[in-house]
Amino acid sequence: MTIATAAPMAGTTHARMNSIVFASCFGTIIEWYDFLIYATAATLVFNKAFFPSFDPLAGTLAALGSYAVGFLARPLGGALFGHFGDRLGRKSMLVLTLFIMGLSTFCIGLLPTYASIGVLAPILLILLRIIQGIGLGGEWGGASLMVLEHAPADKRGFYTSFVQIGFPIGLVLATLVFSLVTKLPEADFASYGWRIPFLISVVLLGVGTFVRSRVPETPVFEGMKRRDDLSKNPVGEAVGKNAKSFLIAVGLKLSEVSWVYMLTVFVVGYATTKLGLAKSLMLDAVMYAALLELVSLPLFGWLSDKFGRKPFYILGALFTIAFAFPLFWMVESKSTVLIFTGIMIAMNFGHGMMFGLESCYFPELFGPRVRYSGASFGFQVSAAIGGGFAPILATALAGYFGGTGGVAIMMIVLALITLAAALAARETRGGSLTD
């Protein structure tokens, strides 16, 4: 990855800045790949492999419930690694969270199914999902701060957006690998094919650990350490003394995270089970939408350096409100062109317009003493609410009402919350990272 921009922060050369961005982005790709292959597996195979005693709808809800516990664990990871990231440094947390995430993902690929060991199978699955969530919960904040606190003030939005492209690349990889293994005969996919995406993560883990071990600590943290200005209780200080910023961060994240997991989990499951659409069609639509984000995320990051962070959250929330019903109309048309168009537009404007800025905007809302804790905990609390429960609630609403009208209304309500948070937020573009 080569990024040509204005001179980075004093003491950080272009080559070093590029290596920092690459290490943060590469590790984040691995983390999101590990986390997202579970989401795909939960909708396609886990309901049968680990929860077979339930009826189809209940089995799907149980599988999504096991998926959701990973989100519930993310705030714990955000608080835990945020505390140590603000106390011990950003770099050490980068390597540790990556290792935790990769190992737990590999172990999921080795798990016996319900048919082999009974109820112990879903218990172990849920335990490993919790460990996944803890690892991811701490990873994002460290990767974001590693780039942000090295970057020049006028290019922070652009530089940090490359941390965010870890999500679409991880999503593309997860979707691509699952698209390939779903081409196996149904019996082979059910017996061993679904394990392949989990097992190959161990290779990515080795490469990512090597890359991340070579990056330097951030100058902002080193400065605080020299001044003996480290917080003794970063999480308590972030939530207690910075309550407004914390609540704004939670609100800003809510619509975007609910929207993207609605697209990648609920819509895929609904389209394949209720509308009878091919798995490959839906997975390809998601994959191409994510590929487009490789362009849109840096674009929105760059634009936020020009026009500010706040306007794009307002626009993103307004888009979601306007597009909630049309999205489902386009999917329910069963037209390949409309489905691809709808998902690609929804992903890039309802998700990318806001998500591309988060590695920059969220940390900028907090001072350096609590930046890791505040940004990570706020980000992950909202992810737990929106990402963990939205697909489950959407599945229940669709089953109860027999359609997607209730789901669209739910998404509009969540977007209104994000709109309110955006209006209450302060603009941070160009501000100091040391105050």
Is 432 inside a domain boundary?
no
pLDDT value, residue 214: 79
pLDDT value, residue 5: 39
Is 9 inside a domain boundary?
no
Contacting residues for 67 by C-beta, under 8 A, at least 6 apart: 38, 39, 42, 46, 129, 265, 388, 391
From CA 337, how far away is CA 284, in angstroms rounded?
A: 12
pLDDT value, residue 148: 92
Is 270 inside a domain boundary?
yes
Is 2 inside a domain boundary?
no
From CA 81, how far away is CA 87, in angstroms rounded?
A: 10
The residue range of the domain holding 142 is: 14-424
Helices of type H across 308-346:
310-332, 336-345
Q: Total structural domains in the chain?
A: 1
pLDDT value, residue 55: 59
Is 431 inside a domain boundary?
no
Is 430 inside a domain boundary?
no
Residue 200 backbone phi and psi in degrees, to 5 = -75, -10
Task: Return the CATH number at 195.
Answer: 1.20.1250.20
pLDDT value, residue 64: 62
pLDDT value, residue 1: 42
> What SS3 class is residue 344?
helix
pLDDT value, residue 434: 82
Is 124 inside a domain boundary?
yes
Alpha-carbon distances of 352 from 95, 228, 358, rounded to whole Å = 27, 38, 10
For every residue of 69-121, DSSP letters joined together read HHHHHHHHHHHHHHHHHHHH-HHHHHHHHHHHHHHHHHHHTT---HHHHTTHH
Q: What is the pTM assigned to this prediction?
A: 0.83
Is 48 inside a domain boundary?
yes
Helices 14-41 + 56-88 axis angle, to 10: 150
pLDDT value, residue 10: 47
**pLDDT tens for the chain, residues 1 to 435:** 444 333 444 445 677 788 888 888 887 888 778 777 887 787 677 777 777 766 566 666 666 666 667 778 889 999 999 999 899 888 888 888 888 888 888 999 999 988 888 878 888 888 888 888 888 888 888 889 989 998 888 899 999 999 999 888 887 888 788 888 888 888 888 888 889 989 988 887 888 778 777 788 888 888 888 888 888 898 999 888 889 999 999 999 999 999 998 888 788 888 888 888 988 888 889 889 989 999 999 999 999 999 999 999 999 999 999 999 999 999 999 999 999 999 999 999 999 999 999 999 999 999 889 999 999 999 999 988 887 778 778 888 888 888 888 999 999 999 999 999 999 999 999 888 887
Residues written for the chain: 435
